[in-house]
Structure 1
């Protein structure tokens, strides 16, 4: 499995100026090449090899060395491939929409401080000294110090493969290195499953008793950040704008830290008990859900995709099996008797089954349903010809027909 490791550079003012000039030169070259790629007749003419024949000499004349010039060509070619995939997937609207035509009809643009890729010919690491030697438009600069955790240093030393990206963010410089880490052998015979229900008030709730990770503090933090940003934007002074820049992405970093903590605890518990993890497949939920205007900000700041990604890669590293299940009706179905009705969800927090009378926390009930569905999905995928105790073939989505025979609680 591939993971990325970030280290922070500690360049001198002269080195900072050289790095900034290098990023500007690389992205200016990409912006020069992008209109030429846009005007090509077909996608084949926008491939790396086609653009290299077109622009390599010109990029060298612009002051880029051989490898940086090739990286600029690859960046532009990959950007058009990504745009093509997004247009085909409908991520920019239908073909007859104004947004689709606007994006498809203009060249891809690159920020002047956008990241630039380095391979081992342009960047070398001195692990013991914790320095790097890096190519710039002002020449090769050696002895640039970097800092990182001991774990990150060990990963880079032992597992680093491929390119590293130079990133300028919030006035600081970073190198992001890709590392190939062998995934642990997946536990093919889990002793059970942990269902995980994702939400806004409770960020994650597991099917275990007491397995709730409340989001009250994070939501309170977000409301405070929104209020501070609004006050600074209303002020409009140069000092307020400087403070806004310093506070940029602070909320995102805080939310990522919370998601790391939650995902680590869930995966550690699954690994300790020899169980697998069941997650809701929430792909496209922002497009499917219809909310009132005051609720939209909470939904769109909800980093459930990030939390899911963290759980997925941590589970892969630990050898914990993970399955995604259909989230439909998990909050309306009774995990004790299987009765499904909208009225079962009495309030946001309270679940009260109209059939068997059981009362439970709504998120915990949903997590129990996810756990059961994960059992069926895993059985259908890993043992497609197996049958449950009643002799009924296990299906990946038996709840569609309301059949949950042979469940365990």
Structure 2
């Protein structure tokens, strides 16, 4: 399984200036190569090299490896764009959003991420330094910092490319690591059902509820503050907005890591598998009133499911995805399905047998029962590989899941 370990670089001012100049040159070259690819219709790696390789090296002074990675990054960006257009992630063909994405060349931010291979970057993990290629020559002894777990993963499993990126005034390296999967537990007797939601982020079939009150209050506070600062539209308000950008997503990511780690640890301790809802396409299926749209759009259920899946693979815990249809209105005791059973957001009361329970716990028990039925029929663990993040054209890491597990905190 591929994981990404992110470490923070601590360059000197001279080293930072060289890294910044290198990123700018690489992304300017990538934007030019993208224009050539768009004009000629040549968007495959080796074919595009014939049109761009020599000029990329001569015009921007890039080395051979850097020039090849710039061209490959351009082709990867077009492959990602093609996949998003085909999947409908950028609207329907002919829509304004679809045309805006497809009728002009892909552009790269001046400080977008740049891939490095082992010829351009070497790691001295024990000394916590790296040697990295720049336009000013090889920069040696660039210090980095990371946690003990990340250092151990780097030393044992690092393999492949690393991405250099600059974000919010800080330098990072995202290193790809090939971590072996644990031997899966096939002698299961039970599953831990997980019901995902907005009011309660996750509810287990054991009755444990990870409430989302604090996270939702924080999102509302951030949204209110953003609106207020955007209305002011002064230099100081813009500086404040820039400083607080991505704060909400960082907090949600941290909480999802903690919940996922706790869920996987509980399943591993009790020798159970994990049952998750398959919520693919839920944003397109539901219709919401305007006040609910922002809350629903910021619901990070896919990220939490991804974190649970990859942590479960590392621990050898099987994961089964089930159809969540009617799980919130079906009685976990007698199986009676009726919309009137869900008397409120929080409570479930069966009109057939009189069973009363917390609505999310009832739903998680239904999810567990469906996973057990699938497992008895011979279903295998369906925990997928960690999906790639958005392409390098956005300046973000393209490869696999971010690392840095948080401490488990079941009291969320």
Tell me whether the two structures share a fold, i.e. TM-score over 0.5: yes
Measured at CA, do residues 96 and 225 of structure 1 come closer, stay the same or move farther in structure 2, by a change above 3 Å? closer
Matched residue, 2:126: 128
Q: Tell me, in whole angstroms, the C-alpha distance in 2 between the residues paired with 1:327 and 1:289.
A: 14
> Mapping of 1:84-233 within 5 angstroms?
84-209=82-207, 211-233=208-230
* Residue 291 of structure 2, aligned match among 289, 294, 297: 294
Matched residue, 2:366: 369
1:88 offset after TM fit, Å? 1.6
- What are the superposed Cα offsets for residues 381-401 of structure 1, whole Å, 9 maximum, x if unpaired? 348xxxxxxxxxxxxxxxxxx
Matched residue, 1:64: 62
Q: Tell me, in whole angstroms, the C-alpha distance in 2 between the residues paired with 1:381 and 1:238.
A: 61
Q: Tell me, in whole angstroms, the C-alpha distance in 2 between the residues paired with 1:102 and 1:230.
A: 26
Q: Tell me, in whole angstroms, the C-alpha distance in 1 between the residues paired with 2:147 and 2:325.
A: 42
Q: Tell me, in whole angstroms, the C-alpha distance in 1 between the residues paired with 2:378 and 2:56.
A: 51
May I ask how many residue pairs the two structures share in their alignment? Answer: 379
Query: Are residue 21 (structure 1) and residue 21 (structure 2) matched?
Result: yes
Q: Tell me, in whole angstroms, the C-alpha distance in 1 between the residues paired with 2:158 and 2:48.
A: 29
* Residue 256 of structure 1, aligned match among 249, 253, 257: 253
Matched residue, 2:306: 309
- What are the superposed Cα offsets for residues 96-141 of structure 1, whole Å, 9 maximum, x if unpaired? 3333233222111111111000001101111121111111111111
The TM-score normalised by the length of structure 2 is 0.90
Matched residue, 2:386: none
SS in 2 for 1:381: coil
SS in 2 for 1:178: strand
Q: Tell me, in whole angstroms, the C-alpha distance in 1 between the residues paired with 2:40 and 2:339.
A: 54
SS in 1 for 2:225: helix
- What are the superposed Cα offsets for residues 219-260 of structure 1, whole Å, 9 maximum, x if unpaired? 111112122222322332222222211111111111111111
Higher relative contact order (CA 8 A, sep 6+): 2
SS in 2 for 1:191: coil
Q: Tell me, in whole angstroms, the C-alpha distance in 2 between the residues paired with 1:214 and 1:362.
A: 13
Q: Which range is displaced more, 236-245 or 319-328?
A: 236-245
User: Where in structure 1 are there 5+ consecutive unaligned residues?
Assistant: 384-409
Q: Tell me, in whole angstroms, the C-alpha distance in 2 between the residues paired with 1:115 and 1:257.
A: 23
Q: Tell me, in whole angstroms, the C-alpha distance in 2 between the residues paired with 1:231 and 1:82.
A: 35
Matched residue, 1:245: 242
Query: Are residue 340 (structure 1) and residue 337 (structure 2) matched?
Result: yes
- What are the superposed Cα offsets for residues 347-404 of structure 1, whole Å, 9 maximum, x if unpaired? 1111111111111110000000000111112222348xxxxxxxxxxxxxxxxxxxxx
Q: Tell me, in whole angstroms, the C-alpha distance in 2 between the residues paired with 1:96 and 1:11.
A: 47
1:13 offset after TM fit, Å? 1.4
SS in 1 for 2:378: helix
Q: Tell me, in whole angstroms, the C-alpha distance in 1 between the residues paired with 2:130 and 2:202.
A: 40
Matched residue, 1:396: none
Q: Tell me, in whole angstroms, the C-alpha distance in 1 between the residues paired with 2:83 and 2:239.
A: 37
- What are the superposed Cα offsets for residues 157-187 of structure 1, whole Å, 9 maximum, x if unpaired? 1100000000100000000001011000111
The TM-score normalised by the length of structure 1 is 0.91
Q: Tell me, in whole angstroms, the C-alpha distance in 2 between the residues paired with 1:319 and 1:48.
A: 37
- What are the superposed Cα offsets for residues 15-43 of structure 1, whole Å, 9 maximum, x if unpaired? 111111111100100110111111234xx
Matched residue, 2:391: none
SS in 2 for 1:46: coil
Matched residue, 1:30: 30
SS in 2 for 1:187: coil
Q: Tell me, in whole angstroms, the C-alpha distance in 2 between the residues paired with 1:243 and 1:102.
A: 30
SS in 2 for 1:310: helix
